[in-house]
Structure 1
Amino acid sequence: MCGIAGWVDLRRDLLVESAGARAMTGTMVLRGPDAEGLWVREHVAFGHRRLAIIDLAGGEQPMVADDDGREIAALTYSGELYNYRELRRELISRGHRFRTESDTEVVLRAYVEWGEDFVDRLNGMYAFGIWDVRRERLVLVRDRMGVKPLFYYTGEPGSVLFASEPKAIFAHPLAEAVVDLDGLRELFAFVKTPGHAIYRDLYEVVPGEVVSVDRDGLRRRQYWAPGYVEHRDDVETTVRTVRGLLEDIVDRQTVADVPMCALLSGGLDSSAVTALAHAALMRRHEGPLRSFAVDFVGQAEHFRPDALRPTPDAPFVHDVVKHVGVHHEDIVLDAASLIDPLARTAVVAAADQPPFGGDIYTSLYLLFRAVREYSTVALSGEAADEVFGGYLWFHQPEVVRADTFPWMVVGGPGTGALDPGLLSSLRLADYRAAAYREALAEVEHGDDADPYNRRMREISYLHLTRFVRILLDRKDRMSMAHGLEVRVPFCDHRLVEYVYNTPWAMKTFDGREKSLLRAAAADVLPTSVVERTKSPYPATQDPQYERVLRDTLARIAADSPAAPLLDPRRVSELVESPYENDGFGEARRSIEQALSLDTWLRHTPARLV
């Protein structure tokens, strides 16, 4: 896993203007602490910061392919290719010679062999840029589920900047971090519109997309999206297929030349990944697996159940540890660490925009910092809820019937502190409604005539193409801020495609959420975890945390750079409102949002217009 950056301009001689590309690359030391590389030719400059995972000695980048000493393509690459060994063997059979054992060189040679169609052969998480020397063409590619980020900026005609993170792009003198009303709509709407970013002229490469740039302009091509395929397997065959896919996926994703661990919450998803990964390592005589869990001081003793979190994580985590036999450590955080201004500022800097998840972001950041002391790669259970239908709102009729994004019915980020005039200008309800209609128009139903199954396919599609991308982006930014690579087995496109097309009745065949995953992994898990009800990532319930939030808002509100976005009367009411301490109450979410906006505008180059 790495940080990539690049600049293409067919009108300039970048051999004498490479300082901009070097500045871009320099912003991503945290993503790639092991090495830096810069490759510059007349119209292109590629930068790379490396986090060495596979072929530690031979995978330096940017990497160049040549033909009889003549350069034909260059690559700056971030990610992991899980089928690189098979592709390498096929490419060797076609006459390619390799200088390294890295997956990077496999990607480069695959492009040389098959051109842009090579993307259909890739299995992994990746984001990269290729410069085709012969065609003078830039090719940007992002993995199918969007596990790895990739942005590009088109502010000046004829010039394209790209990078893993917006901060790298805004380090270039041609780019400006301007946020207008459209950017604020995307920021506050909580819908993750594909391709959109909150900054003017900045775009994301859509997951499963190829973007190419040459003298004829910029073109976009979608090479993958969840689509309709008739599911013909019965329940028993489906469960067996899911298990076989999971074993193959986890086996592939436990390959690394650096220490590996699992992130364990005691839920079905992370526990299944942990158990299967431990078994894979033990079969290869590489175990036992390390695992880590986040917890909060006093959480188990003073836990208060609510509608979303009926149980604390710790007892279930320890059941898995005992049952599976992993080498485990709890990372226990106190209120002081979650409130620490340095940590909260680092979170905003890593995210390149104001995250509205409050202590969830900060605790992830601190968890990953602790994990990185032991491991360079971590496995996560992220995305299982989106793939298998695990969220409670998948199973609430009033939410399923609602004519909007399901997670907005349950409650998005608080907007209670925002200025009423601003909210009126933003017209967020209209923005969400348009985004929702656009998303539904993408769904393929084939010949499925069952109206309920069609609706549940739409709900699944919304989560796989919108909601999960919010979570994957959070995971990437908080982990890569410490040079920690987090792999996501449930995002393997083979599993996503298979389960997406499984009828909803089969996904809930035992009358519960995630029936297929529960049945597929039950034999490797303790009964307590198999029977546990879904509980999301934890938030602290320490009253000291919320007390400091309110005190901080009261102190900074008057002179905050976010003041033009906030309602002073409402801010005062929030400071005095009753304490909630559950992480999901409207007041706490609104306070978190106001403080996040303040930190963002104080410590980043963002400029509101």
Structure 2
Amino acid sequence: MCGITGWVSYDSDLTQRRDTIDAMTGTMACRGPDDSGTWVRAHAALGHRRLAIIDLPGGKQPMAVQTPNGAVSMVYSGEAYNFSELRHELAGKGHEFETDSDTEVVLHGYLEWGESVADHLNGMYAFAIWDERDEKLVMIRDRMGIKPFYYYPTRDGVLFGSEPKAILANPLARKIVDADGFRELIGFTKRPGWSLWKDMYEVDPGTIAVVERDGIRTRTYWRLDAKQHTDDQETTVERVRELMTDIVRRQLVADVPRCVLLSGGLDSSAVTGLAAAALAEQGEQVRTFSVDFFGQEENFKADEMRDTPDSPYIRDVAQLVGSAHQDVMLNPGDLTDPAVRRAVITARDIPAGMGDMDTSLYLLFKAIRGESTVALSGESADEVFGGYRWFHDEAAVNADTFPWLAFQNAITSDRHALLEPKLRETLDIPGYVADQYKTAVDSVDQLDGVSPLEQRMRTVCNLHLTRFVRTLLDRKDRASMAVGLEVRVPFCDHRLVEYVYNTPWSLKTFDSREKSLLRHATKHVLPDSVRDRVKSPYPSTQDPGYAAALQQQAKEVLAEPDNPVFGLVNRAWLQDAAEVDAATMPGTTRNGIDRVLDLYHWIDLYSPELRLG
């Protein structure tokens, strides 16, 4: 797990610009605290920051192979979970290896298969290869978009990086945010290729982007295709069990301490149970970590998203599997500390507006990093198996928009109410969302001869796997890598995603519950309480002290009447929000204040040029 960056310039001599590639690389020191390296030639410069996970002494990057017709050099971020099998296959084809790292295997895979190396990989990855033989840069991103990857076309080449901050460190990249970029920030549709910053793009998941003298071309090497599912219920459950067992075993491979993120929900508990069983065979005890808030369990109140507190279920799982468990306890002061908010914004390069769910995640990862370097997560199971509440809400499912926007909750409801009125009119967020929704639905591959319900639910599942999940994966990667922690996501293994995606909705809900397939496939490693628990998302504090602290900070922002944030935010809205009773503050208002504070600090940190008119 690492941070990568680079610069291709066909009309320049980049050997004279080592200071710039060093600066770009330096922005990602948190992603790679263990080592740093650059590789510079006339027309290509590559930078790498390393978080050592496998083959600690041997995986130094950039890594290059000298061929008779020029060097082939690579910077790589992520993990190839099938690297052992690929190494054996490549050795059989005559390749010789000098290290035990997966990085070298991927590089030799490129030498053997070219761009098609992507078809051979199982894992999470973003890597770039400068092929001196053809003077081209090949950028490849994993199928689900687990690892971030951005690029910025220039007049004579490209800039790229794991994060926008690496690209923005180059003088050629301008810190401009236009109306089109800002619409997506508010709209929350996860438009493909979006980065917020003008002229900067994501390498889309499952995509290969190739830079040559005549421009940039892209090719999709993986997408969600509709295929007939022929397995019966028993066979399907068994196949999911087999896949999950294999995936977790593969993702436990590391030369550093590992742990599991445990929330007490079905997803993380399943991963915990499978990991505990696999480690027990090696004579090891699984370590688990959870985040919680002081007083949350004692004072918990059910809301539209959560019926029960997490703590009792966490204890049940930890007791069943015998894990070495640790709770990371947080209070409103921890969650509203402006320094923590600024650290989160810097990690993500955008004012994401997820409030305490962002700051608590960052603080959880920071605590874990003191004891582990790799963590397995239950992220993405809801998208794969259909777990979110709105999957089972008829109005949300049948709404003519993205289901997560149709379902009323604090994060998605009335997302543009806080905007300055003229800006709100200019942006036309509802129109933007409608256009994105139509584009997304039109791209879904469907099977013939299925019921309207099955067709609709395939669409809903597709929207989550190609749009919604990417926001959450980016959030988890950026928060974890900001403290040098690698988080692995077993539910994003493409074999599992493809298989479950093509199971009919009737199979996904065969016991009249959400995530039926996962529930039954992993019931052998779950306590009864978790097996019967209703879906509950990532926790959020209910302490009114959190809302009160936000209001005080909002008043401090209001005391700066000339602050540029008021070019974006409706001052009257913020004034009203700062005066409501903190104890009864609606979740939408609380989240709105969080979003304003994110914008306020983001402007201060990044000094963006806003072109929103």
Q: Shorter-chain TM-score: which interval?
A: over 0.9
1:430 Cα offset (Å):
1.1
Paired position in structure 1 for 2:114: 115
| Equivalent in 287, 290, 303 of residue 287 of structure 2 | 290
Report the alpha carbon displacement of residue 67 of structure 1 after superposing the two structures with TM.
Answer: 2.9
CA distance in 1, matches of 2:351, 2:538: 19
Q: Give the corresponding residue for 1:127.
A: 126
CA offset at residue 544 of structure 1? Answer: 1.0
Residues 580 and 588 in structure 1, CA contact (< 8 A), matched pair in contact too: no
Report if aligned partners of 2:192, 2:204 keep a CA contact under 8 Å in 1.
yes
Q: Which residue of 2 aligns with 1:180?
A: 178
Given residue 601 of structure 2, which amino acid in structure 1 is its aligned partner?
T
Pair 1:392 & 2:394 matched? no
Cα deviation for residue 48 of structure 1 reads 0.1
Question: Of the candidates 581, 593, 609, which is equivalent to residue 607 of structure 1?
Answer: 609
> How far, CA to CA, are the matches of 1:290 and 1:581 in structure 2?
38
Match of 1:524 in 2: 525
Among 590, 594, 597, the alignment partner of 1:595 is 597
1:17 aligned onto 2:7: no
1:25-424 aligned within 5 A: 25-67=25-67, 71-154=70-153, 156-285=154-283, 287-411=284-408, 412=412, 414-424=415-425
Q: Deviations over 1:417-443 (max 9, x none)?
A: 211111110011111111111111111
TM superposition score normalised by structure 1: 0.98
Q: Aligned partner of 2:4: which letter? A: I
CA shift, 1:157, in A, is 1.1
Equivalent residues of 2:271, 2:376 under 8 A apart: yes
1:547-566 superposed matches below 5 A:
547-557=548-558, 558-566=561-569
What does the per-residue CA deviation read over 1:457-481, in whole Å, with 9 as the maximum and x for residues that have no partner? 0000000011001100110011001
Q: CA deviation at 1:605?
A: 3.7
Note the aligned Cα RMSD (angstroms). Answer: 1.1
8 Å CA contact retained: 1:146, 1:472: yes
Quote the Cα distance in structure 1 between the aligned partners of 2:294 and 2:449. 50
Distance 1:431 1:125, change over 3 A: same
In structure 2, give the amino acid aligned to 1:290. R
Deviations 1:282-325 (A, max 9, x none): 1123x101000000000011111112110000000000000111
Q: Which residue of 1 aligns with 2:580?
A: 577
- Tell me if structure 2 keeps the 8 A contact 1:6–1:46: yes
Asked if the contact 1:185–1:426 (Cα under 8 Å) also holds between the matched residues in 2, the reply is yes
Q: What is the distance in 1 between the residues matched to 2:245 and 2:524?
A: 13
The code of the aligned residue for 1:88 comes to R
What is the rounded CA distance, in whole Å, between the counterparts of 1:283 and 1:276 in structure 2? Answer: 11
Instruction: Please give the alpha-carbon distance, in whole angstroms, between the structure 2 residues aligned to 1:356 and 1:566.
Output: 13
> Could you tell me how far 1:580 is from its partner in structure 2?
5.8
- Separation in structure 2 between the aligned mates of residue 39 and residue 103 of structure 1, nearest angstrom: 19
CA deviation after TM superposition for structure 1 residue 187, in Å = 1.0
Corresponding residue for residue 5 of structure 1: 5
**Are the equivalent residues in 1 in contact too, given 2:157–2:211 (CA < 8 A)?**
no
Aligned equivalents of 1:230, 1:65: Cα separation in 2: 43
User: Per-residue displacement from partner, 1:42-67 (whole Å, max 9, x unpaired)?
Assistant: 10000000000000000000000123
Alpha-carbon separation, structure 2, partners of 1:519 and 1:243:
8
Per the alignment, do residues 126 and 380 of structure 1 end up closer, same or farther by CA in structure 2, a change over 3 Å counting?
same
Tell me, in whole angstroms, the C-alpha distance in 1 between the residues paired with 2:280 and 2:315: 20
**Structure 1 residue ranges without an equivalent (≥5):** none
Give 1:482-521 correspondences, 5 Å limit.
Answer: 482-521=483-522
Pairwise CA distance, 1:217: 1.1
Unaligned runs of 5+ in 2: none
Identify which range, 568-577 or 188-197, moves more after superposition: 568-577
Mapped to 2, the partners of 1:71 and 1:330 lie a distance apart of 53
- Of the structure 1 ranges 13-22 and 466-475, higher mean CA displacement relative to structure 2 is found in 13-22
Q: How far did 1:205 drift? A: 0.4
Aligned to 1:432: 433
* Whole-Å separation in 2 of the counterparts to 1:556 and 1:25: 34
Contact 1:541 1:581 survives alignment (8 Å):
no
Q: Distance in 1 between matches of 2:34 and 2:607?
A: 27
Please report how far the alpha carbon of residue 559 of structure 1 lies from its aligned counterpart in structure 2 after TM superposition. Answer: 3.8
Please give the alpha-carbon distance, in whole angstroms, between the structure 2 residues aligned to 1:244 and 1:284. 19
Output the amino acid matched with 2:355. Answer: G
In the alignment, the residues of structure 1 paired with residue 296 and residue 606 of structure 2 have an alpha-carbon distance, to the nearest angstrom, of 34
Moved more, 25-34 or 441-450: 441-450
1:131, 1:139 within 8 Å by CA — same for their partners in 2?
yes
C-alpha distance in structure 1 between counterparts of 2:124 and 2:347, whole Å = 20
> 1:334 corresponds to which letter in structure 2?
N
Q: Assess if the C-alpha contact under 8 Å between 2:145 and 2:205 holds in 1.
A: yes
After superposition, residues 434-453 of structure 1 pair within 5 angstroms as: 434-453=435-454
Structure-2 separation of matches of 1:459 and 1:560: 41
Amino acid across the alignment from 1:183: G
CA–CA distance in structure 1, aligned partners of residues 528 and 325 of structure 2: 19
Partner of 1:576, secondary structure, is coil
Q: Distance in 2 between matches of 1:607 and 1:304?
A: 43
User: Do the aligned partners of 2:454 and 2:505 also contact (CA within 8 Å) in 1?
Assistant: yes
CA contact (8 A) 1:356 1:589 kept: yes
* Residue 72 of structure 1: how far off its partner (Å): 3.1
Aligned to 2:588: 586
Q: Partner amino acid for 2:10?
A: L
Task: Kindly indicate whether the alpha-carbon contact (under 8 Å) linking 1:415 and 1:590 is maintained by their aligned counterparts in 2.
Answer: no
Calculate the TM-score normalised by the size of structure 2: 0.97
8 Å contact kept, 1:415–1:593: no
Shift of 1:231: 0.2
- The structure-2 alpha-carbon separation of the partners of 1:181 and 1:104, relative to structure 1 and needing over 3 Å to count, comes to same
Q: Residues 135-190 of structure 1: CA distance to partner in whole angstroms, max 9, x if unpaired?
A: 10101011000000000011x31120000000111011111111011111111110
Partners of 2:449 and 2:581 in 1: CA distance: 49
For residues 272 and 122 of structure 2, what CA distance do their matches in structure 1 show?
Answer: 21
Show structure 1 runs of 4+ deviating over 6 A.
Answer: none
Q: Percentage identity across aligned positions? A: 54
Q: Deviations over 1:539-589 (max 9, x none)?
A: 11111110010111111122433111111211111112243678x721111
Would the aligned equivalents of 1:268 and 1:529 in 2 still touch at CA under 8 Å? yes
CA–CA separation in structure 2 for the residues paired with 1:125 and 1:451? 34
Q: Is the 2:55–2:255 contact (alpha carbons within 8 Å) kept by the matching residues of 1?
A: yes
CA deviations 1:367-401 (Å, max 9, x no partner) are: 00000000000000000000000001101111111
State how far apart, in whole Å, the 1-side matches of 2:540 and 2:134 are: 51
Q: CA deviation digits over 1:86-111, x for unaligned, max 9? A: 00000000000000000000110000
Measured in 1, the distance between the counterparts of 2:223 and 2:101 equals 28
Give 2:545's aligned amino acid: Q
Deviations 1:11-30 (A, max 9, x none): 11111122211110000000
Quick one: distance in 1 between partners of 2:494 and 2:530? 26
Q: CA deviation at 1:71?
A: 4.0
